[in-house]
Structure 1
Amino acid sequence: MLASFSLLPRPKTLHRWLSTLPSSSIQNSVFISRSTDPLFNLTFEDWLFRHCPIERPLLFLYRNTPCVVIGRNQNPWKEVNMASLRARGVPLVRRRSGGGTVYHDLGNTNFSIHLARQAFDRRTTAQLVLRAVRAMGIERARLNDRNDLCVGDDKVSGSAYKIVNTRAYHHGTMLISTQLETLGDLLRVDNRGTMVTAGVASVRSPVCNLQQSSPATEHDTFASAVVDEFRAEYGLDDPTQTIDEAAGDPAYIQRGIAELQTWEWLYGQTPAFTHTLENAFPWGAVTAEVRAKHGVILSCTLRTPDLPSAALEALSSSAEGARYGAWPTGSAHVSDGPAGDVQRWLSEALV
């Protein structure tokens, strides 16, 4: 409940002018990105985190074109409707922080608050964003016990955190006018069978947009409110710096973007998991147990009381060392009959 912590009002400040500075002379505390490329924005955020002075509080605000962003320690096959993702042509991105899976589009604004580790407090930064939302007239906004920002019972903002040595950041989403139907479709997972994973699972929650409570709210109004609260909280008065894809250290940015696009990062970071599936065919039933780690299949055990074990042995042995999601579609041809039925089933189920 809100009564459990202090919500001190912050004085409103004049909106600062925007200035565009060369990437070699970043001296500011507030950054707003003109880019809507998720790979650039996430990499620039990482560059800020690792290269700017730790004693200076930083705020970074940005929007991305449609994408699904999973946490560093998550399993995409458990979190995301991969078939729908591919059908819609929406890219998948694995970020460098932990936390759950989120959907980004231009109706969602992302905020990132960077502090020295000794000054970092998750509740304090969450309260800062809460004050910004309330300053826009959304009085029903509140924080839940996970520091998610809600309007009534519906979540409008989820957060993730990263702490490395003496640095820390809190970044989160803010649903303003996001396509909630698309969000629901992409994050609605109907895993066939049972998937047991060592990865971090997302906490599913009902969501809504800020515009459902305040139709006039836009990206710019939310960004301005957060900037005002950030400056008041940390006693800052320097101009906002708008950045584009030339900002930061070009070599670092290029390497970071390239890393985010590699299979090894996107899928190879997936913790170990076991996917158990069952299916009934006209000729009998089959149970498949697929074990994978770092996105690579360790083993596939196929069991059926209705066929000799040798009938599926070739298909099962072809799985070892294959990339999950690419097998068995990329495996050697399997003849028609029961083995072919199982191959076609697994091709649809393991996506």
Structure 2
Amino acid sequence: MRYIYNKSTDPAFNLAAEEWLLTRDDEEIFMLWRNEPAVIVGRNQNTLAEIDESFTRERSIPVIRRLSGGGAVFHDLGNINFTFIRNSSPCEGLDFKYFTAPIQEALGNMGIDCNFSGRNDLLIKGRKFSGNAQHFHKKRLLHHGTLLFSSEMADLSGTLRVEPEKYRDKAVKSVRSRVTNISSHLPEPMEVTEFISYLLNFVSKGTAPEQWELSAKEREEIESLARKRYRTWKWNFGSSPAYNFRRVSRTPAGTLDVNMYVKKGHIHRIRLFGDYFGIKDICDLETMMLSRRHQRVELESHLSTIDLGEYIRDIDLPTFMDCLF
């Protein structure tokens, strides 16, 4: 098995690294890595339904889709991610306990008692600190999990807070849990980088640290994959399952009731109901948004050249955009 400490903190690069290592050959892998603040959504999720759009936009927090299923998670530099890649067959099924056992052993060696719970979680004193997911590619299995070490809990809850009634779809929904940081349970204080070194040494049984790096050629190929997939709107948002969106908002123009159907990230149907006033036919405004991405930047740019007040009196463009997300 190869042991890797991937020191990149770019979420698009890091998720690309997992896919590249999974698909390139049959080498078995254990890798540790961290991301700068980012929301990572599951393969089968509706991205916009999982995030607080205004919270992530105002803080420039990227939202990236991963290969595996499961729910959305918030990553920051206080969260450590671990990845196992093993040669396996789908007929063997998913086994979360097997891959979380080394983590439990490593923490137990430090005096922290933790246990496996539910389908895919690790808990300390009843609070979640690790969620896990898996993905098969041909005869290769990717298992990855989070380890909350010293994450900012306010950001963790803020990025994933959303009004549940706005989106109607068949996508997998996230389940929120009470969480805790590993650092709160350590017998002695430890920096996150110290914990990474400890964990990698424990799992690798002392493999030399100079062997933990990705090569320059590997990083170049991974970055190419990141550009093609993990940095694109098509993968991160456009791959969401089709959904119906409804939001009723009180605005200076009156009540605005937005109803739309979105497929492959593009608006296929939209109706704007409400008690607002306007000079021009609202159907013309609705038509302008058809086939456009359900994406704030694109809609804002597309509608910036029109006089919105002619269709909905006393509303400005930022307020109108807030009604659409």
**1:72-151 equivalences in 2 (<5 Å):** 72-118=43-89, 121-139=95-113, 141-151=114-124
Quick check: 2:248–2:323 contact (8 Å CA) kept in 1?
no
Quick check: 2:37–2:61 contact (8 Å CA) kept in 1?
yes
Quick check: 2:42–2:68 contact (8 Å CA) kept in 1?
yes
- Structure 1 equivalent of residue 30 of structure 2: 59
**DSSP-derived class of the 2:225 partner:** helix
Partner Cα separation in structure 1 for residue 124 and residue 269 of structure 2? 46
Partner Cα separation in structure 2 for residue 67 and residue 322 of structure 1? 25
Q: CA deviation at 1:306?
A: 7.8
**1:252-291 equivalences in 2 (<5 Å):** 253-280=223-250, 285-291=255-261
**DSSP-derived class of the 2:77 partner:** coil
Q: What amino acid does structure 1 have at the position aligned with 2:88?
A: R
Quick check: 2:52–2:158 contact (8 Å CA) kept in 1?
yes
User: Does 1:200 pair with 2:172?
Assistant: yes
Query: RMSD of the alignment, in Å?
Result: 2.8
Partner Cα separation in structure 2 for residue 49 and residue 93 of structure 1? 18
Partner Cα separation in structure 2 for residue 93 and residue 248 of structure 1? 21
- Structure 1 equivalent of residue 155 of structure 2: 182
Partner Cα separation in structure 1 for residue 238 and residue 250 of structure 2? 32
Unpaired runs of 5+ in structure 1? 1-27
- Structure 2 equivalent of residue 152 of structure 1: 125
Q: Is 250-259 or 59-68 further displaced after alignment? A: 250-259
Shift in CA distance, 182/239, structure 1 to aligned 2, threshold 3 Å? same
Partner Cα separation in structure 2 for residue 170 and residue 133 of structure 1? 19
TM-score in terms of structure 1 length: 0.80
- Structure 1 equivalent of residue 144 of structure 2: 171
Q: CA deviation at 1:231?
A: 4.4
Higher RCO, 1 or 2 (CA under 8 Å, sep at least 6)? 1
Shift in CA distance, 347/160, structure 1 to aligned 2, threshold 3 Å? same
Q: 1:219 aligns with which of 164, 174, 192?
A: 192
Q: CA deviation at 1:313?
A: 1.3
- Structure 2 equivalent of residue 250 of structure 1: 220
| Higher alpha-carbon Rg | 1
User: Does 1:45 pair with 2:15?
Assistant: no
Shift in CA distance, 281/176, structure 1 to aligned 2, threshold 3 Å? closer
**DSSP-derived class of the 1:73 partner:** coil
Q: What amino acid does structure 1 have at the position aligned with 2:63?
A: L
Partner Cα separation in structure 1 for residue 37 and residue 55 of structure 2? 13
Partner Cα separation in structure 2 for residue 285 and residue 224 of structure 1? 56
**DSSP-derived class of the 1:93 partner:** strand
Q: What amino acid does structure 2 have at the position aligned with 1:57?
A: E
Q: CA deviation at 1:343?
A: 7.2
Partner Cα separation in structure 1 for residue 40 and residue 19 of structure 2? 15
Partner Cα separation in structure 1 for residue 6 and residue 219 of structure 2? 15
Partner Cα separation in structure 2 for residue 158 and residue 336 of structure 1? 47
Q: Is 56-65 or 172-181 further displaced after alignment? A: 56-65
Shift in CA distance, 301/52, structure 1 to aligned 2, threshold 3 Å? same
Quick check: 2:135–2:143 contact (8 Å CA) kept in 1?
yes
Shift in CA distance, 340/297, structure 1 to aligned 2, threshold 3 Å? farther
Q: 1:314 aligns with which of 279, 284, 297?
A: 284
How many residue pairs are counted as aligned between the two chains? 316
Q: What amino acid does structure 2 have at the position aligned with 1:32?
A: Y
What CA deviation, in whole Å up to 9, does each residue of 1:154-185 have, x standing for no partner?
11111111112111011011010111111121
Q: What amino acid does structure 2 have at the position aligned with 1:219?
A: V
Partner Cα separation in structure 2 for residue 225 and residue 181 of structure 1? 27
- Structure 2 equivalent of residue 8 of structure 1: none
- Structure 2 equivalent of residue 323 of structure 1: 293
Quick check: 1:34–1:242 contact (8 Å CA) kept in 2?
no
Quick check: 1:43–1:256 contact (8 Å CA) kept in 2?
yes
- Structure 2 equivalent of residue 297 of structure 1: 267
Partner Cα separation in structure 2 for residue 306 and residue 109 of structure 1? 49
**DSSP-derived class of the 2:189 partner:** coil
Alignment identity in percent?
Answer: 29
Shift in CA distance, 306/116, structure 1 to aligned 2, threshold 3 Å? same
